[in-house]
Amino acid sequence: MVPKNSTNPIRAIRERTGRSLRDFAADLGVSWVSLQAAETGAVGRPRGIMLALDEAGLGDADEIQRSYDEWREERKKQAKAFFANQKAGGAGA
């Protein structure tokens, strides 16, 4: 599990606006499917979304990307640890 304080920066920006995923995607001019994929971490470099956030004045694209990369790396580490524990027959198996 990812620590509670580890938040996807894209999702955090959207949640601060109070907009639904579909409405926020429309506001940015991006596909809601692409936005959803970025919020779940399914894509590594959602550059179009980063640029749209930057153009909307919601953050610096490069800074958001750095935060997003850090978030994804933390999720990967957590997932690897979880599955290694499962394979070893650890707690929660």
Q: Which positions ≥6 away from 27 have C-beta within 8 Å? A: 17, 19, 56
91 DSSP 8-state letter? T
Prediction pTM value: 0.82
Whether the CB-CB separation of 28 and 56 falls below 8 Å is answered with yes
Cα–Cα dist 72/62, whole Å? 15
pLDDT at 1: 35
pLDDT digits (tens, 9 = 90+) for 46-93: 999 999 999 999 999 999 999 999 999 999 999 899 988 888 886 654
Residue 2 is predicted with a pLDDT of 37
For the cut 60, the answer to whether the pLDDT of residue 4 exceeds it is: no
Residue 59, sorted as left (phi over 0), alpha (psi -120 to 50) or beta, turns out to be left
